Amino acid sequence: MHPPIVPGTHVVTGAYGYTGKYIAQRLLDRGLPVATVTNSAGRANPFGEQVRAYPLDFANPSALVESLRGASVLYNTYWVRFNYRHFNFAGAIRNSRTLFNAAKDAGVGRIVHVSITNPSPDSPYEYFRGKAEVEEALRDTGVSHAILRPAVLFGGADILVNNIAWMLRRLPMFGVFGDGKYRVQPIHVEDFADLAIEHALGNENTVVNAIGPATFTYREMVAAVAEAIGVRRPIVSVPAWFGLAVSRIVDRFTGDIALTREEIGGLMDGLLYVDTPPVGSIRLTEWAKENSATLGVRYANEIGRRLKRATAYDKL
Ligand SMILES: NC(=O)c1ccc[n+]([C@@H]2O[C@H](COP(=O)([O-])OP(=O)(O)OC[C@H]3O[C@@H](n4cnc5c(N)ncnc54)[C@H](OP(=O)(O)O)[C@@H]3O)[C@@H](O)[C@H]2O)c1
């Protein structure tokens, strides 16, 4: 039995994960009480006694309600990246509903929810359709909320930008899908955490595109990462099917799923681009140069993070 949280606590999903960890750290920096709900209680707690962990047990909604009772804000980062043997989008939608309803029943004052740019119920991609459905489920609760929609996050234990650097370091050339001219707007994870906290403190229902200061074409982003880490590689256009096939070969060595057909489709359809002003200030180009000694040295493994639940994200 876990002792109840201190009233007014900010509860973050997955504080041993990627964005959840940065949100928790920024909250602690501001002297706020923080707790986490996580399925990864076996991972080392980087915050020690400062952040108490409660189970993110979707099968036990009443326990979730008790874990959240007294919380002022819930930051929800929970989602799955693709359908897999042990998890899928349909389950993630159900689980998100369970979590929102638990927050409502627990009397949580505000929910800051992490979504994606351009979610739509009509999207051909299950990821973007699912995100639209989860946003709707949040609205249905009637709980005061902010929906943050990042395109791509970078910094710390990120996956996409890190693994672009990893491939640049190892492969003789880098293939971009099609012409590579579709746009992306990466935001640094610390800027994102600050944005989440800023919106936790408001009380209007809002939707914010969480994008960084620079818009790149995908090809430009790959070139910027290559330049930052000091590798020269031809960046060539390849058909999406071919890029996916190469990615599958790499997956055999990493034991991961580096990219899915859906992710490539969403990227090429420009869904990681929005026409709204930036909200972050840290620039990918400068950050990549400052972090060139470590960027892409290790592969960041999504499946590893899901299966090895006692190992820290930055070791996987
Ligand atoms: N990373 C990006 O570039 C990016 C871009 C756009 C939008 N987003 C959105 O931002 C949010 C946070 O993303 P993130 O990259 O920071 O994620 P993350 O930390 O890897 O995962 C967030 C939370 O979801 C849980 N989770 C993830 N996959 C799971 C699975 N397959 N089964 C069960 N639990 C799972 C994690 O569990 P544990 O607590 O057990 O670790 C953690 O609590 C997500 O909603 C994502 O869609 C991310």
Q: Which of 159, 189, 203 is nearest to 20 (CA)?
A: 189
Could you give the CA distance from residue 84 to residue 105 in angstroms, rounded to a whole number?
31
Q: Is the shortest distance between the CB of 306 and ligand 1 below 6 Å? A: yes
Return the CATH architecture of domain 10-155+188-210: 3-Layer(aba) Sandwich (3.40)
Quick check: helix, strand or coil at residue 144? strand
105: pLDDT strictly greater than 60: yes
Could you give the CA distance from residue 187 to residue 281 in angstroms, rounded to a whole number?
8
Average pLDDT over residues 224-238: 97
- The number of residues making up the chain comes to 316
91: pLDDT strictly greater than 60: yes
Written in H, E and C, the secondary structure of 40-65 is CCCCCCCCHHHEEEEECCCCCHHHHH
292: pLDDT strictly greater than 80: yes
Domain ranges of the chain: 10-155+188-210, 160-184+214-307
What is the residue with the minimal CA distance to atom 42 of ligand 1?
Answer: 14
Return the CATH architecture of domain 160-184+214-307: Alpha-Beta Complex (3.90)
Average pLDDT over residues 60-83: 97
276: pLDDT strictly greater than 80: yes
Q: Is the shortest distance between the CB of 18 and ligand 1 below 6 Å? A: yes
Do 10-155+188-210 and 160-184+214-307 come out as alike in CATH topology?
A: no
**Ligand 1 centre distance from Cα of residue 233 (Å):** 31
Q: Which of 89, 88, 78 is nearest to 115 (CA)?
A: 78
pTM higher than the cut 0.85: yes
Query: What pLDDT sits at residue 219?
Result: 98
Specify whether the CB–CB gap between 102 and 68 falls below 8 A. yes
Query: What pLDDT sits at residue 315?
Result: 82
Query: What pLDDT sits at residue 312?
Result: 84
Query: What pLDDT sits at residue 1?
Result: 53
Could you give the CA distance from residue 269 to residue 182 in angstroms, rounded to a whole number?
7
Query: What pLDDT sits at residue 124?
Result: 97
Average pLDDT over residues 281-303: 97
What is the residue with the minimal CA distance to atom 37 of ligand 1?
Answer: 14
Query: What pLDDT sits at residue 2?
Result: 74
| Average pLDDT score, the chain | 96
Q: Which of 188, 192, 196 is nearest to 155 (CA)?
A: 188
Average pLDDT over residues 76-85: 97
